[in-house]
Structure 1
Protein backbone atom coordinates (compact mmCIF):
# COMPACT_ATOMS: atom_id res chain seq x y z
CA UNK A 1 0.00 0.00 0.00
CA UNK A 2 1.04 3.60 -0.42
CA UNK A 3 1.47 5.87 2.60
CA UNK A 4 2.64 9.44 3.04
CA UNK A 5 5.07 9.42 5.95
CA UNK A 6 6.98 11.96 7.97
CA UNK A 7 10.66 11.09 7.71
CA UNK A 8 12.09 14.39 8.95
CA UNK A 9 10.20 17.25 10.64
CA UNK A 10 10.32 20.39 8.54
CA UNK A 11 10.48 18.39 5.30
CA UNK A 12 7.65 17.38 2.95
CA UNK A 13 5.98 14.03 3.54
CA UNK A 14 7.40 11.15 1.52
CA UNK A 15 5.38 8.49 -0.29
CA UNK A 16 6.41 5.00 0.76
CA UNK A 17 5.27 1.53 -0.21
CA UNK A 18 4.46 -0.47 2.91
CA UNK A 19 2.73 -3.74 3.58
CA UNK A 20 -0.94 -3.24 4.37
CA UNK A 21 -1.44 -3.41 8.14
CA UNK A 22 -3.32 -6.27 9.74
CA UNK A 23 -5.84 -5.66 12.48
CA UNK A 24 -5.03 -6.78 16.00
CA UNK A 25 -7.67 -8.44 18.17
CA UNK A 26 -9.39 -5.15 19.08
CA UNK A 27 -8.82 -3.29 15.83
CA UNK A 28 -10.56 -2.70 12.53
CA UNK A 29 -8.72 -2.48 9.22
CA UNK A 30 -9.97 0.36 7.07
CA UNK A 31 -9.59 1.30 3.45
CA UNK A 32 -9.18 5.04 3.84
CA UNK A 33 -11.75 6.93 1.79
CA UNK A 34 -10.95 10.43 3.08
CA UNK A 35 -8.72 12.06 5.65
CA UNK A 36 -8.83 15.66 6.71
CA UNK A 37 -5.75 17.78 7.30
CA UNK A 38 -5.82 19.21 10.81
CA UNK A 39 -3.60 21.94 12.19
CA UNK A 40 -2.12 19.25 14.50
CA UNK A 41 -0.88 17.40 11.39
CA UNK A 42 0.79 20.58 10.21
CA UNK A 43 2.39 21.17 13.63
CA UNK A 44 3.86 17.65 13.44
CA UNK A 45 5.13 18.04 9.86
CA UNK A 46 6.54 21.50 10.59
CA UNK A 47 8.43 20.17 13.62
CA UNK A 48 6.41 22.20 16.15
CA UNK A 49 5.40 18.93 17.85
CA UNK A 50 8.22 16.50 18.57
CA UNK A 51 7.68 13.26 16.63
CA UNK A 52 6.97 10.27 18.84
CA UNK A 53 8.19 7.79 16.22
CA UNK A 54 9.94 7.66 12.89
CA UNK A 55 8.09 7.34 9.61
CA UNK A 56 4.61 7.91 11.03
CA UNK A 57 1.76 8.44 8.59
CA UNK A 58 -0.10 11.52 9.90
CA UNK A 59 -3.84 12.08 9.66
CA UNK A 60 -6.44 11.59 12.35
CA UNK A 61 -9.64 12.73 10.71
CA UNK A 62 -10.24 9.44 8.90
CA UNK A 63 -13.33 8.19 7.15
CA UNK A 64 -12.97 4.64 5.90
CA UNK A 65 -14.66 1.41 4.95
CA UNK A 66 -14.08 -1.59 7.19
CA UNK A 67 -12.30 -4.34 5.26
CA UNK A 68 -11.38 -6.64 8.16
CA UNK A 69 -12.15 -7.06 11.86
CA UNK A 70 -9.95 -8.25 14.68
CA UNK A 71 -11.31 -11.38 16.35
CA UNK A 72 -12.49 -9.47 19.44
CA UNK A 73 -14.28 -6.66 17.60
CA UNK A 74 -18.03 -6.37 17.95
CA UNK A 75 -20.45 -3.73 16.70
CA UNK A 76 -18.86 -3.24 13.28
CA UNK A 77 -19.25 -5.10 10.02
CA UNK A 78 -17.08 -5.48 6.95
CA UNK A 79 -18.21 -2.83 4.48
CA UNK A 80 -19.35 -0.45 7.20
CA UNK A 81 -18.35 3.21 7.09
CA UNK A 82 -16.52 4.55 10.15
CA UNK A 83 -14.76 7.65 11.39
CA UNK A 84 -11.52 7.66 13.39
CA UNK A 85 -10.52 10.54 15.69
CA UNK A 86 -7.31 11.85 17.29
CA UNK A 87 -7.61 9.64 20.40
CA UNK A 88 -6.44 6.27 19.14
CA UNK A 89 -5.82 4.08 22.20
CA UNK A 90 -5.95 4.25 25.99
CA UNK A 91 -4.89 1.85 28.72
CA UNK A 92 -8.38 1.27 30.13
CA UNK A 93 -6.90 0.76 33.61
CA UNK A 94 -5.85 4.15 35.01
CA UNK A 95 -8.15 6.29 37.16
CA UNK A 96 -8.97 8.54 34.21
CA UNK A 97 -9.97 5.62 32.00
CA UNK A 98 -11.99 3.99 34.78
CA UNK A 99 -13.91 7.27 35.28
CA UNK A 100 -14.70 7.58 31.57
CA UNK A 101 -12.15 10.36 31.06
CA UNK A 102 -9.98 8.46 28.57
CA UNK A 103 -8.86 11.68 26.93
CA UNK A 104 -6.76 12.33 30.06
CA UNK A 105 -5.04 8.89 30.09
CA UNK A 106 -1.30 9.32 30.68
CA UNK A 107 -0.57 6.39 28.37
CA UNK A 108 -2.88 7.49 25.53
CA UNK A 109 -1.74 7.05 21.94
CA UNK A 110 -2.89 9.35 19.19
CA UNK A 111 -3.84 8.62 15.59
CA UNK A 112 -1.37 10.11 13.13
CA UNK A 113 1.15 10.88 15.90
CA UNK A 114 1.88 7.70 17.86
CA UNK A 115 -0.11 5.42 15.55
CA UNK A 116 -0.18 5.54 11.76
CA UNK A 117 -3.04 7.67 10.54
CA UNK A 118 -5.07 8.18 7.42
CA UNK A 119 -2.49 9.58 5.01
CA UNK A 120 -2.35 6.05 3.61
CA UNK A 121 -4.48 3.66 1.60
CA UNK A 122 -5.22 1.51 4.66
CA UNK A 123 -5.19 2.12 8.40
CA UNK A 124 -5.89 0.10 11.52
CA UNK A 125 -7.77 1.64 14.41
CA UNK A 126 -8.86 0.56 17.88
CA UNK A 127 -12.56 -0.26 17.54
CA UNK A 128 -13.28 1.47 20.89
CA UNK A 129 -12.47 4.78 19.23
CA UNK A 130 -14.18 4.27 15.89
CA UNK A 131 -17.57 5.78 15.18
CA UNK A 132 -20.13 4.31 12.79
CA UNK A 133 -20.99 6.71 9.97
CA UNK A 134 -24.15 5.53 8.24
CA UNK A 135 -24.30 5.88 4.48
CA UNK A 136 -26.36 8.84 3.38
CA UNK A 137 -25.44 11.06 6.32
CA UNK A 138 -24.31 14.59 5.64
CA UNK A 139 -20.73 14.97 4.50
CA UNK A 140 -18.54 17.97 3.86
CA UNK A 141 -19.68 17.90 0.25
CA UNK A 142 -23.36 18.24 1.08
CA UNK A 143 -23.18 20.30 4.28
CA UNK A 144 -20.01 22.23 5.05
CA UNK A 145 -19.01 22.45 8.70
CA UNK A 146 -19.61 26.19 8.65
CA UNK A 147 -23.23 25.85 7.45
CA UNK A 148 -25.87 27.06 9.87
CA UNK A 149 -28.46 24.56 11.06
Structure 2
Protein backbone atom coordinates (compact mmCIF):
# COMPACT_ATOMS: atom_id res chain seq x y z
CA UNK A 1 0.00 0.00 0.00
CA UNK A 2 2.77 2.57 0.73
CA UNK A 3 4.01 2.34 -2.86
CA UNK A 4 0.61 3.16 -4.36
CA UNK A 5 -0.11 6.06 -2.00
CA UNK A 6 3.47 7.25 -1.57
CA UNK A 7 5.57 7.49 1.57
CA UNK A 8 4.33 10.97 2.44
CA UNK A 9 0.84 9.64 3.14
CA UNK A 10 1.99 6.34 4.66
CA UNK A 11 5.37 7.16 6.23
CA UNK A 12 4.66 5.25 9.46
CA UNK A 13 3.39 2.02 7.85
CA UNK A 14 6.81 0.52 6.94
CA UNK A 15 7.86 0.79 10.60
CA UNK A 16 4.62 -0.70 11.99
CA UNK A 17 5.98 -4.23 11.50
CA UNK A 18 8.41 -6.02 13.82
CA UNK A 19 9.94 -7.73 10.75
CA UNK A 20 9.62 -11.16 12.35
CA UNK A 21 9.04 -12.65 8.88
CA UNK A 22 5.72 -14.36 9.60
CA UNK A 23 3.89 -12.30 6.97
CA UNK A 24 6.32 -13.45 4.28
CA UNK A 25 5.99 -17.09 5.38
CA UNK A 26 2.18 -17.14 5.20
CA UNK A 27 1.76 -15.03 2.06
CA UNK A 28 -0.04 -17.30 -0.44
CA UNK A 29 1.67 -15.71 -3.44
CA UNK A 30 5.13 -15.56 -1.79
CA UNK A 31 5.49 -11.76 -1.76
CA UNK A 32 8.73 -10.98 0.13
CA UNK A 33 6.97 -8.58 2.51
CA UNK A 34 9.83 -8.19 5.06
CA UNK A 35 12.29 -7.36 2.27
CA UNK A 36 9.88 -4.80 0.83
CA UNK A 37 9.33 -3.21 4.24
CA UNK A 38 13.08 -2.90 4.81
CA UNK A 39 13.43 -1.25 1.38
CA UNK A 40 10.58 1.16 2.17
CA UNK A 41 12.21 2.02 5.51
CA UNK A 42 15.47 2.80 3.73
CA UNK A 43 13.71 4.91 1.14
CA UNK A 44 11.72 6.80 3.79
CA UNK A 45 14.93 7.96 5.51
CA UNK A 46 17.05 8.07 2.36
CA UNK A 47 18.14 11.08 0.40
CA UNK A 48 14.90 11.31 -1.57
CA UNK A 49 16.21 9.43 -4.60
CA UNK A 50 14.13 6.26 -4.23
CA UNK A 51 11.58 4.84 -6.61
CA UNK A 52 8.70 5.45 -4.22
CA UNK A 53 6.87 8.79 -4.27
CA UNK A 54 7.79 10.69 -1.12
CA UNK A 55 11.18 9.00 -0.69
CA UNK A 56 13.16 10.75 2.01
CA UNK A 57 10.05 12.00 3.83
CA UNK A 58 11.31 10.76 7.24
CA UNK A 59 14.88 11.98 6.72
CA UNK A 60 16.03 14.24 9.53
CA UNK A 61 18.94 16.64 9.05
CA UNK A 62 19.80 16.40 12.75
CA UNK A 63 19.91 12.60 12.60
CA UNK A 64 22.02 12.65 9.43
CA UNK A 65 24.46 15.09 11.08
CA UNK A 66 24.60 12.96 14.24
CA UNK A 67 25.37 9.78 12.26
CA UNK A 68 28.04 11.57 10.20
CA UNK A 69 29.61 12.80 13.44
CA UNK A 70 29.51 9.29 14.90
CA UNK A 71 31.00 7.88 11.68
CA UNK A 72 33.89 10.35 11.89
CA UNK A 73 34.51 9.64 15.58
CA UNK A 74 34.33 5.87 15.06
CA UNK A 75 37.02 6.06 12.37
CA UNK A 76 39.38 8.29 14.38
CA UNK A 77 40.45 6.35 17.51
CA UNK A 78 42.18 9.28 19.24
CA UNK A 79 39.14 11.51 18.83
CA UNK A 80 36.90 8.66 20.01
CA UNK A 81 38.94 8.12 23.17
CA UNK A 82 39.01 11.86 23.90
CA UNK A 83 35.29 12.32 23.34
CA UNK A 84 34.31 9.33 25.47
CA UNK A 85 36.65 10.50 28.26
CA UNK A 86 35.07 13.96 28.17
CA UNK A 87 31.56 12.48 28.10
CA UNK A 88 32.40 10.34 31.14
CA UNK A 89 33.63 13.36 33.08
CA UNK A 90 30.59 15.45 32.12
CA UNK A 91 28.00 12.72 32.69
CA UNK A 92 26.29 14.75 35.44
CA UNK A 93 25.36 17.30 32.77
CA UNK A 94 23.56 14.70 30.64
CA UNK A 95 19.88 15.65 30.32
CA UNK A 96 17.36 13.17 31.70
CA UNK A 97 14.90 13.81 28.86
CA UNK A 98 16.02 13.08 25.32
CA UNK A 99 12.78 13.59 23.42
CA UNK A 100 10.20 10.89 22.78
CA UNK A 101 12.73 8.09 23.41
CA UNK A 102 12.81 8.88 27.14
CA UNK A 103 9.06 9.08 27.61
CA UNK A 104 9.11 5.39 28.58
CA UNK A 105 12.82 4.79 29.19
CA UNK A 106 15.60 6.16 31.35
CA UNK A 107 18.19 8.21 29.47
CA UNK A 108 21.53 6.41 29.17
CA UNK A 109 24.52 7.89 30.97
CA UNK A 110 28.05 7.73 29.56
CA UNK A 111 30.34 5.37 31.45
CA UNK A 112 32.76 7.01 33.88
CA UNK A 113 35.59 4.89 32.45
CA UNK A 114 36.00 3.04 29.17
CA UNK A 115 36.41 -0.72 29.00
CA UNK A 116 40.05 -0.21 28.01
CA UNK A 117 40.62 1.92 31.13
CA UNK A 118 38.94 -0.66 33.35
CA UNK A 119 41.09 -3.46 31.91
CA UNK A 120 44.26 -1.39 32.42
CA UNK A 121 43.29 -0.71 36.06
CA UNK A 122 42.46 -4.37 36.62
CA UNK A 123 45.81 -5.46 35.19
CA UNK A 124 47.64 -2.84 37.27
CA UNK A 125 45.86 -4.04 40.41
CA UNK A 126 47.00 -7.59 39.66
CA UNK A 127 50.59 -6.48 39.07
CA UNK A 128 50.31 -6.53 35.30
CA UNK A 129 49.64 -10.27 35.19
CA UNK A 130 46.96 -11.68 32.94
CA UNK A 131 44.83 -14.54 34.15
TM over 0.5: same fold? no
Query: Which TM-score bucket, shorter chain as reference?
Result: under 0.3
State the TM-score, normalized to the length of structure 1: 0.21
- Greater Cα radius of gyration, structure 1 or 2: 2
Asked which structure has the greater RCO (Cα within 8 Å, sep 6+), the reply is 1
**Which structure has the highest strand share of the two?**
1
More helix by share: 2
